[in-house]
Amino acid sequence: MAAFLVPLVALVSGLLFGLGLMVSGMANPAKVLDFLDLAGNWDPSLAFVMAGAIAVGSVAFFVARRRTRSYLGLPLQIPATTAITTRLLAGSALFGVGWGLAGFCPGPALVALGAGYPKGIGFVAAMVAGMLVFEVIERARAGTRRA
């Protein structure tokens, strides 16, 4: 496999994903917030976007579970655990609150950042800060477990 092929496939996949987010309206926080506003100006159109994404993702995971290597020859790394933990529920709730407050989730925020939207810049900066705080906390927890 040519060494340039893997990054090229990643680039094309990312561009296609970003284009899909922009065309669907997922990169527009106002549209997302209207989708989440069930008691007000509710816009159900993003439910169809999500249903389509779930359908495509389900097929991809169905195929991937039967393979050990990707189509590019790389090893597949599918999570082995399916346990629903307190950390998973807390993280999901935190994600949902952030999505509801900002109208962004990470993928669309990166698209908005690339498009130069000021809200996207602020959200991505806050997201990176949150990732750094998480990393510091995880390293501290790992250190206390070893001691």
pLDDT at 76: 85
Range of the domain at 70: 5-146
Q: How far is CA 29 from CA 48, 78, 102, in A?
A: 17, 31, 7
Q: What is the pLDDT of residues 123-147, one digit of tens each?
A: 999 999 999 999 999 999 888 776 5
Q: Per the structure block, which two tokens stand in for 16?
A: 């296609």
Is the pLDDT at 81 greater than 90? The verdict is no
Q: What is the pLDDT of residues 88-128, one digit of tens each?
A: 999 999 888 988 888 888 888 998 888 888 888 989 999 99
pLDDT at 84: 94
pTM over 0.85: no
Residues pairing with 69 in the sheet? 75
Higher pLDDT, 74 or 58: 58
Q: What is the pLDDT of residues 5-54, one digit of tens each?
A: 888 888 998 899 888 888 888 888 888 889 888 888 888 988 898 899 89
Domains contained in the chain, number: 1
CB 64 within 8 Å of CB 57: no
